[in-house]
Amino acid sequence: MKNNNIAIYHAAPRIGDKLIHLDFYYSIFKKYKKKIILICHNKDQIISKCDFFSEIIDLEIKKGLPQILSFIEFNKIIKTRKINKIYIFEKNSKPALFSFFSGIDSIYSYGIKNIQKLFIHNNSIDKEYYPLIEYDQADNFLKKISIKKYKFFFKNNKLPKNHIFICNKASDYLRKWPNQNLKEIIIKILNSNSNSKIYLNIDHKDYLDLSKQIKSNLYYTSNLSLIDLFDVISQCSFSLSVDTGPSHISLRLGIKTYVLFSRTLPNKYSDNLIPIIDKNIKDVDKSIITNRKSDNINVDYVWDYIKHEFKK
């Protein structure tokens, strides 16, 4: 049987990393009109909802001596799935080397430049490419290898406008908005529409006083699985979130998403993305790198962004 299957390798251990790249995975599927094998670290149920993957394989390429076992497993995947073409969304050269020594005919990657000259079937990437955020790295990669980019969205349930998702939970404290600010925004929302149902992905203990004050309109989602959180967000009319996994879920559902302290999401990522940035920053794309904590992004400033949602 001829080797003619196509794979994508992208470690992407966090859900947000995979969701950022869905346009690019989908574009490769569209080019070949053939389902793709995705090799990644931490397979999850949301990505499994994509119908353009024939298989999703969980593989972690480890460091040091354990990488020998990683190569053996990688090689077995390539041989048993009869893969002869692979697209690698990593600057790390190791997956490209693994692919070469596994006998793959066509390897496309933006790994280290000198490795590309030896093994990779595409032009090397310019130096200025490396500091770009992940979405722009992948965008440039597809342009270099002449693959047309297509957008991919999951279907949402399009429920009434009073369903709102709010997320202020992130691993990086610089991406979080002050709790008091968020409490004030929630009160403003409920004053504008007392029927609003607000789904909160937050550290519940920080909002106990708000829970006592408002009992019937708040629904906490922090303990939900990713797939259950996906279902909740799909029922919302818009989201207000810091730059973290749930904001990517919201955007992939085609839901209007206001993102605070945007760091990984350029404007071209989605027409539904509204980055809430410091008004003193003129260049929105530049703000993605520089826009961190800012006193200018206060309650009234954020409210001016979202208040029209309650006048429709």
In this structure, of 26-35, 103-112, 146-155, the range with the lowest mean pLDDT score is 103-112
Helix (H) or strand (E) holding 169: none
Residue 299 has pLDDT above 70, yes or no: yes
> Which phi and psi angles does 229 have, rounded to 5°?
-65, -40
215: left (phi over 0), alpha (psi -120 to 50) or beta: alpha
Whose CA is closest to 91, among 35, 47, 130?
130
pTM confidence score = 0.84
Enumerate domains of the chain plus CATH numbers.
5-144 (3.40.50.2000), 163-310 (3.40.50.2000)
Residues 225, 231: Cα–Cα separation, whole Å: 10
* pLDDT for res 116: 53
* pLDDT for res 312: 57
pLDDT band at 269; cut points 50, 70, 90:
confident
